[in-house]
Amino acid sequence: MYMAELELILAAPRGYCAGVDRAVETVEQALKLQGAPVYVRKQIVHNLHVVADLETRGAIFVDDVNEVPEGATVVFSAHGVAPTVHEGAAERALDVIDATCPLVTKVHNEAKRYDQRGYQMLLIGHADHEEVVGTMGEAPGAMTLVENAADVRTLPDYPVDTPLAYLTQTTLSVDETSGIIAALKQRYPWIESPDKGDICYATSNRQAAVKELARVTELVLVIGSANSSNSCRLVEVARDAGVDSYLIEDESEIDPTWIGNRTKIGITSGASAPERLVLGVIEWFRTRSDGITISELETVHEDVSFHLPRPIRRALALVDTPSAD
């Protein structure tokens, strides 16, 4: 199917966030410093291309620390882990490099503080998502998962003197989460919230960018893996804004029938999708149309960065320090 001239409009910001960039670089640096293999618990970030690339370099992905040879190096993914995972790693004398996103760590710390103060917590998130599993592991006896506003009606009738607070998964839909929070506050007017919202800056920024993209395009393609929560939310945000939207792993999953007679196509990518996948989608359109024009719709400029985990920084410092002969 050959297409007429197309206008491709790229959302900005898109793609890697600071937490993902930090996590991926952590594995890359570990492989350079220590050599292969380096074990990684779960997918370092939720993107099949990133995982496959790291596997070719010598990373070995496992589901459980018990699969890692005793004394070996293991990297924990950006999504965070429960305390029991740290305990299991210690029992096997593993060399742990924790690549948990600092914004996820913030939620873990909130959970620990509330738990220490005797609070019951309501965690807004998706069941079985690795971030949610890790966060709930901080206080399993004091935390209840809330997946949607309908769940609020099934929660216990906490007495008004019950210390109660809510937390959220960092990669949720901003709009959907606000509705759940409103329902919680209506049912429990005294419920406490974190000092700052838990949904991360990158999630919020990318969703805001997609809303603007939907205003000026006829179709929005979101590049990301199906298990990437923030990527799936971008599709939902675009559809809620009134345009067709599809999640694609890469250009090979584009269905030409989606395009039809549309001439303005929006493109964005989830926070764990590398920019090279965007370039692949652009090239797909370039070879199948009479020509393309490319523009970028920037809604906010991001300049956030996070330090690499301390073990990596220490190792790099030793490499950079000249030996004293």
127 and 63 fall within a common domain: no
Q: What's the pLDDT at 322? A: 58
Type of residue numbered 245: S
96 and 113 fall within a common domain: no
Of the chain, the percentage scoring pLDDT greater than 70 comes to: 98
137 and 221 fall within a common domain: no
279 and 228 fall within a common domain: yes
Domain end residue (candidates: 128, 153, 187): 187
281 and 211 fall within a common domain: yes
CA–CA distance, 60 with 45 (Å, rounded to integer) = 14
Q: What's the pLDDT at 91? A: 97
Does some domain include residue 324? no
Looking at the structure of the chain, the number of domains it has is 3
Does some domain include residue 308? no
113 and 71 fall within a common domain: no
Q: Is 230 helix (H, G, I), strand (E, B) or coil?
A: helix
pLDDT digit string, tens, across residues 244-269: 999 999 999 999 999 999 999 999 99
Q: Which residues are catalytic?
A: 131
260 and 236 fall within a common domain: yes
* Residue 24: other Cβ atoms inside 10 A: 22
Torsion sign over Cα 169, 175, 180, 184: positive
Average confidence score pLDDT of the chain: 95
Does some domain include residue 319? no
71 and 111 fall within a common domain: no
| CATH code for the domain of 148 | 3.40.1010.20
157 and 118 fall within a common domain: yes
With 60 as the cut, is the pLDDT of residue 299 above it? yes
Q: What's the pLDDT at 12? A: 97
Type of residue numbered 289: S
How many angstroms separate the Cα of 176 from the Cα of each of 129, 132, 144, 167, 282? 17, 17, 18, 14, 31
Domain end residue (candidates: 187, 214, 230): 187
Q: Is 314 helix (H, G, I), strand (E, B) or coil?
A: helix
| CATH code for the domain of 46 | 3.40.50.11270
109 and 146 fall within a common domain: yes
Closest listed residue to residue 202, CA positions, set 221, 226, 179, 229: 229
For residue 294, give its domain range: 6-16+201-298
108 and 168 in contact (C-beta within 8 Å)?
A: no
Give the confidence band of 290 by pLDDT, cuts at 50, 70, 90: confident
Domain end residue (candidates: 138, 154, 187): 187
Structure letter (DSSP) for residue 19:
H
pLDDT digit string, tens, across residues 177-231: 999 999 999 999 999 998 778 899 999 999 999 999 999 999 999 999 999 999 9
Q: What's the pLDDT at 136? A: 98
CA–CA distance, 250 with 280 (Å, rounded to integer) = 7
